[in-house]
Structure 1
Amino acid sequence: MIMQLEPILKEAGELLKEGFYGAFKTQYKDKADLVTEYDVLIEKFLMPKLKGAYPNDEIFGEESYKGNTFPKSGIFVDPIDGTTNFVHRLPHVGISVGVWRDGKAVEGGVYNPILDEMYLAQKGSGAFCNGTRLHVSQSTTLQEALLATGFPYTKNSSPMDLGFVLNSMTNLLPLVRDLRRYGAASLDLCLVAKGTFDGFYEINLKPWDVAAGIVMVEEAGGKVTTHEGGAYDMNDRTIIASNGAIHEALVNEIGFYE
């Protein structure tokens, strides 16, 4: 089934490139959350294509879904993950499609058309980038670890969310090799699967941000939980992904979120 995703993502990638190298209109969803006409255009392109490929699955797109909670099964679509990067012409942008059934990630595709990197994964069949199988890193200590994180859009409106960002960095930065903040969670998770990053964590992400990346990490041999170490659910507020070897240490040191 996953092979159906590749041509759909490739075609959608042409639209993303058109916008990235061209002109577009931008507006704010709120104080810090941008949306462009290409976010909407790409999602509208993807919806019928995905419905044709997965006729029995409900599809949830970032720009069209208005609910606050999410089911255990469905297809979760981010038409441009890294919209702020897209607006500023930073090439860390991707189109993300993740398929979940009964609370488990089963298929995922993340495509960065600017760098022409196609990430594909299917439960039980492995994770790949441009046909090369992915494996998580071999780092065993936080001291060796290069971590990725992100800053939630709620940093402007939620003191708790901002506090988690600052506290987790305060806790982790002295213990790890370094931290990176690239601004596209789906691709950050792919880079954990690729072994570039040893771990990733963030707060207040939505299913379309992580649905595809989670299956990448798991199929590359990594682990994904909440910040407390429990199984990740689509309605959870925190996520930690790692190569598995540093996971317990990462959970223990990241701090708390209430």
Structure 2
Amino acid sequence: MTADDAGRLEVAIRAARAGGSVALAHLGDPLYVSLKGRRDLLVGASVVVQDAIREAILSACPEDAFLGEEGPQDEVLPVAAERLWIVDPIDGSSNYLRGLPCFAISIGYRDANGFRVGVVLDPSRDELFSARFADGARLNGERIYVHVAGEGEEAYESSLIGTDLPSDTEGRLRASRAATYVASRMLGLVMLGSPALGLCYVAAGRLHAYFHLGLQLWDIAGAAVILQEAGATLTNGSGGSWLYSDGSYLATNGRLHGGMLRLLRAALPDPKTPSPPGRGLG
């Protein structure tokens, strides 16, 4: 049993590397494709990647619980487990299916004290984002921090924002409205197709904020500790604790957070209709 955060971080890194190798081996050969829901793809390679990650984690921590995105809809989720690993084997399935090199393996770990370890691997670029609680965030072993673009209005006009679209039609309409409103005030807005990478790009100072209206817990669990250890601010879409979300999340460099919340509220003044939940907790 690996008992401490440092040990579990090493386990998470090994598991991410194992999953990344499998993902790259199947790039262009997804095994099969099916629909979990409208615009919600299950790529067969994701299941194989998740199996490799699970084996790497549970061989080192056999008493821990494991929650992966890919599994039967009626599977009992181990939400009450004291020690829980939360995994998205391929974050950015549509990109992966079409051979676009913007997808990630996301692994988060939490215990009774909260989220302790996060790892997000971009296997296409060999970029490994990692963090453990109270030890800083790193990219390929080098410390990373958020970037603040400027003061006052300059902070808006010099900032690059990321977002992606939920899978449901109503969520997409709302997200598109929010994106248009936000983009009118910022330097630019990008859609990556991989929320885990978008969140890590905030931590690394590549983006100044990232928001999404319809994520699941496995989309954000790996990046959460990385963001916090890089100095970012992470909340739900209303500005409350990210641990209590209807699926909407906002991560920023801190300086932009209040302004981004005001922009999102102005763009979406009516009560939010959550995107249909999947098997997640987010």
- Using the size of structure 1 for normalisation, the TM-score is 0.91
- Structure 2: runs of 5 or more not aligned: 1-6, 273-282
Question: C-alpha displacement at 1:114, in angstroms?
Answer: 1.3
Asked if residue 137 in structure 1 is aligned to residue 147 in structure 2, the reply is yes
Q: Which stretch shifts more, 222-231 or 65-74?
A: 65-74
User: What pairs with 1:56-205 in structure 2 (closer than 5 Å)?
Assistant: 56-64=63-71, 66=73, 71=79, 74-102=84-112, 104-140=114-150, 141-155=155-169, 159=170, 161-205=171-215
Question: C-alpha displacement at 1:243, in angstroms?
Answer: 0.7
Asked if residue 245 in structure 1 is aligned to residue 255 in structure 2, the reply is yes
Structure 1 residues 44 and 136, CA, compared in 2 at 3 Å: closer, same or farther? same
**What is the identity, as a one-letter code, of the residue corresponding to 2:59?**
G
Question: C-alpha displacement at 1:64, in angstroms?
Answer: 1.4
Conserved? CA contact 1:98–1:107, under 8 Å: yes
Structure 1 residues 103 and 165, CA, compared in 2 at 3 Å: closer, same or farther? farther
Structure 1 residues 233 and 23, CA, compared in 2 at 3 Å: closer, same or farther? closer
Structure 1 residues 78 and 23, CA, compared in 2 at 3 Å: closer, same or farther? closer
- Residues in 1 aligned to 2:71 and 2:201: alpha-carbon distance in whole angstroms: 28
Question: C-alpha displacement at 1:34, in angstroms?
Answer: 1.2
Question: C-alpha displacement at 1:176, in angstroms?
Answer: 0.7
Structure 1 residues 23 and 189, CA, compared in 2 at 3 Å: closer, same or farther? closer
How many residues were matched structurally? Answer: 254
Asked if residue 226 in structure 1 is aligned to residue 242 in structure 2, the reply is no
CA RMSD of aligned residues (A): 2.0
**What is the identity, as a one-letter code, of the residue corresponding to 2:100?**
L
Structure 1 residues 87 and 234, CA, compared in 2 at 3 Å: closer, same or farther? farther
Asked if residue 209 in structure 1 is aligned to residue 219 in structure 2, the reply is yes
Structure 1 residues 23 and 62, CA, compared in 2 at 3 Å: closer, same or farther? closer
Question: C-alpha displacement at 1:21, in angstroms?
Answer: 4.5
Structure 1 residues 47 and 85, CA, compared in 2 at 3 Å: closer, same or farther? same
Question: C-alpha displacement at 1:103, in angstroms?
Answer: 7.3
Indicate the SS of the match to 1:29: strand
**What is the identity, as a one-letter code, of the residue corresponding to 2:31?**
F
**What is the identity, as a one-letter code, of the residue corresponding to 2:232?**
G
Question: C-alpha displacement at 1:65, in angstroms?
Answer: 5.9
Match of 1:236 in 2: 246
**What is the identity, as a one-letter code, of the residue corresponding to 1:46?**
I
- Using the size of structure 2 for normalisation, the TM-score is 0.84
- Residues in 1 aligned to 2:79 and 2:184: alpha-carbon distance in whole angstroms: 38
Question: C-alpha displacement at 1:4, in angstroms?
Answer: 1.8
Conserved? CA contact 1:206–1:234, under 8 Å: no
Deviations along 1:67-118, one digit per CA (max 9) or x if unpaired, are: 6988376211011111100011110111110112347321111111111111
Question: C-alpha displacement at 1:247, in angstroms?
Answer: 0.6
Percent identity between matched residues is: 25
Structure 1 residues 27 and 12, CA, compared in 2 at 3 Å: closer, same or farther? same
